[in-house]
Amino acid sequence: MMNGSLRRKLFCKRCQGHTKTAAVLMKPVRPSLGTCRRFSSSPSKLSSSVPWISPLQFSEVTSHKPDPPTKTTNIVVEPQRRAKYISHETAINLIKREKDPQHALEIFNMVSEQRGFSHNNATYATILQKLALSKKFQAIDAILHQMTYETCKFHEDILVNLMKHFSKSTMHEKVLEMFYAIQPIARERPSLKAISTCLNLLVESSQVDLARRFLMHSKKKLNLKPNTCIFNILVKYHCKNGDLESAFEVVKEMKKSKISYPNLITYSTLMDGLCENGKLKEAIELFEEMISGDQILPDALTYNTLINGFCREGKADKARKIIEFMKSKGCNPNVFNYSALMNGFSKEGRFQEAKEVFDEMKSYGLKADTVGYTTLISCFCKAGRVDEAIELLKEMKEKGCKADFVTFNVILGGLCRVGRFEEALLMLEKFPYEGINLNKASYRIVLNLLCKKGELKKAIDLLGLMLGRGFVPHFATSNELLVSLCNAGMVDDAAMALFGLLEVGFKPETSSWALLIESICRERKLLPAFELLDELAMQSHLSLD
């Protein structure tokens, strides 16, 4: 059978007998909306079980109501397939696998429209986790409002999890809001676990005023009876606030209680507070009291508190004695203990001793991790021994220890401080293609040092690389670069840099762009000056009065 396009082509010919040719060539077909209607004569009839209708006849037929069919045809209608019922477990898996939070929310709403389906604690927990990870906090509020009308039983862990997400996003008022939502949504009083989690999140974030407000609420509304965990958080709260006297008062109250006696965490927190305030003697006395008085043996974390305390005060030799004491008491030092000691020697400029500690750590059977390697690499870079630092970087790779962006940033800074800018720029250029992830600090470190060393041409090239990869320089560095370029007479470069920065939302200081306008005018380039002023007014919304 000929296709429709060829039929149309033949029918549309108006001369040289194509009408007859079309009729002869055509096989019987049913009427089609794509058939042409331009003929004045009907072609010959062909015998067929299906009546053939010419284009002209088809046009005439469609001009009036057709006669009813003489013969009925049975039409078989395929029954519509019934939609598969989505269970709670399936809904949870669908939401988890969905990358787009909006689509995940649509799935959540769609399954609730099924007859006989009601969301439960698990499905609500899953969608809230998805929205929290995507920082869709308005949607979270709407979901929580909906939960207050549900009849199913909710667990407080949903709200506790949200408290942690809001704390990470520095939305500390929302941390309290989630805690206060436990009772109306879970329909039960918050547990001690929820109370201690909320308090700890606020204390860890240094939200002293919010923590104080929370404690007052808990004592008044919840009749709070602290356990050891909550008492320890209170100790940490007072230590962070610099109120060591109140911290020791809490410990006295703990000793009076039968269910909340001080433990290793209590003493470690107190010792850390004392070390932070330079009271090393008192920290050692408390350490001895803990062992001899309360028969509590320290662990590596407790020793690390003292090691850091001595290193902070520039007493790395005494910190080394702490490690020797650990060994004598059967407590094996870990990588963090040795890294803290290396940092101590590095701060005192004793880089050889730091290297010896690193070697001792490996000889002790400990496998150096990223923290340990990065600590020693930092020591070498501070001493200007960048080649040795790069050799350590190669050793990390050989040992299967993956360097992170902190390690690379230390190397980049070390190269720039000794004037090896070309190597640093080459690293920035090639690392992303080698699967090495850098962050904005990696570029900013190099750009800052290029500006300080007056390497303006290289700074311009790096700025272009940064903006092309979506990294924005620091505000102060951007202004400093513009001023330096103007002072060096590189007016065209300064203008290009400013336009590039404006496109990513940078708003220069008035002194920076005023100096650039002045430099352009000094070169009697008035038109470019006016164009730049227009661009500044339009993109930065600056007042040019």
- Name the band, by pLDDT with cuts 50, 70 and 90, for residue 106: very high
Q: Which ranges of 399-488 would DSSP assign to H, the alpha helix? A: 405-417, 421-430, 440-452, 456-468, 475-487
What would the mean pLDDT of 460-467 be, rounded to a whole number? 89
In DSSP notation, 492-508 reads HHHHHHHHHHHHTT---
Residue pair 31/57 in contact (Cβ under 8 Å)? The answer is no
For residue 71, give the DSSP letter. S
d(CA 238, CA 242): 6
Residue 177: burial class (beta carbons within 10 Å; 0-12, 13-18, 19+): middle
pLDDT of residue 110: 92
Buried b (16+ CB within 10 A) or exposed e, 513-533: bebbbebbeeeebeeebeebe
Residue pair 144/132 in contact (Cβ under 8 Å)? The answer is no
The single-letter code of the amino acid at 329 is K
Residue 58: burial class (beta carbons within 10 Å; 0-12, 13-18, 19+): middle
- 131's tokens: 């929205």
Instruction: Tell me phi and psi for residue 194, to 5 degrees.
Output: -65, -40
- Name the band, by pLDDT with cuts 50, 70 and 90, for residue 62: very low
Query: Which whole-number Å values give the CA distances from 395 to 66, 223, 360, 373, in the listed order?
Result: 89, 58, 17, 9
pLDDT of residue 33: 29
pLDDT digits 0-9 by tens, 295-346? 999 999 999 999 999 999 999 999 999 999 999 999 999 999 999 999 999 8
pLDDT of residue 422: 93
Q: How many residues does the chain have?
A: 545
d(CA 518, CA 495): 12
Q: What's the mean pLDDT when you consider all of the chain? A: 80
Reduced to 3 states (helix: H, G, I; strand: E, B; else coil), residue 296 is coil
Residue pair 337/326 in contact (Cβ under 8 Å)? The answer is yes
pLDDT digits 0-9 by tens, 172-201? 999 999 999 999 999 998 988 898 899 899
Tell me the whole-structure pTM to 2 decimals. Answer: 0.62
Question: Which helix (H) or strand (E) segment is 34 a member of?
Answer: none
